[in-house]
Chains A and B, each alone.
Chain A
């Protein structure tokens, strides 16, 4: 099925470990986004990309890096995980910023840092 696929779905990291979250979309969307969701809060934008080879910072970028080497993939990296990065991470894509149908979200990655 067409859509946004996130891997892994769950992960537990120790403080200081690194990992990469993968987001893949098969809809040929130009724009891709990484959000985090914490209890009692709305989603907050970490980084985003407006096309292959481009990335930009969102509202809460510290401690994260991203890459968009291929149009269909948007990777989110944690170089040295901290407990404050325990969260649910959502990737989303959009054909254009003013697309009528808004974002298509993945089902999320639940990350726990101990």
Chain B
């Protein structure tokens, strides 16, 4: 199947710092999604991207759909302790809503 490469695998940052993570694929996607997962819970959608080149913000989060349709990035500005969690990218390539997930980026925020 399609492979999504998500990096970095983990990040240890201080409160107030910005965070960047990205996903790349060997194949084209028509939708990119970014999720956050906290311990013991299912992933929660943060941002959805539907067009190549699209830049979308949700509060302190900003994500972009790469021009080639094979990559996406997520930025978190001015991190706070509640940003702790695992962030996943996911790409959708078909009409059935099936998603291909990256392996996740674990974010740890220290005061």
Binding site for B on A (CB under 8 A): 4, 31, 33, 35, 40-45, 48, 50, 56, 58-59, 90, 92, 94, 96-103, 105-108
Contacts and interface: CB of A to CB of B under 8 A. Distances in A.
Q: Give chain A's interface secondary structure class.
A: loop
B101 A44 contact: yes
Interface residues of B, number: 26
B4 interface: yes
30 contacts: A4-B42, A35-B101, A40-B104, A42-B4, A42-B90, A42-B101, A42-B102, A43-B88, A43-B90, A43-B101, A45-B98, A50-B96, A90-B43, A97-B92, A97-B94, A97-B97, A98-B31, A98-B95, A99-B97, A100-B48, A101-B45, A101-B48, A102-B45, A102-B48, A103-B43, A103-B97, A106-B42, A107-B41, A108-B41, A108-B42
A97 B6 CA distance: 23
B103 A97 contact: no
A57 B31 CA distance: 21
B88 A42 contact: yes
A95 B97 CA distance: 10
Contacts of B101: 35, 42-44
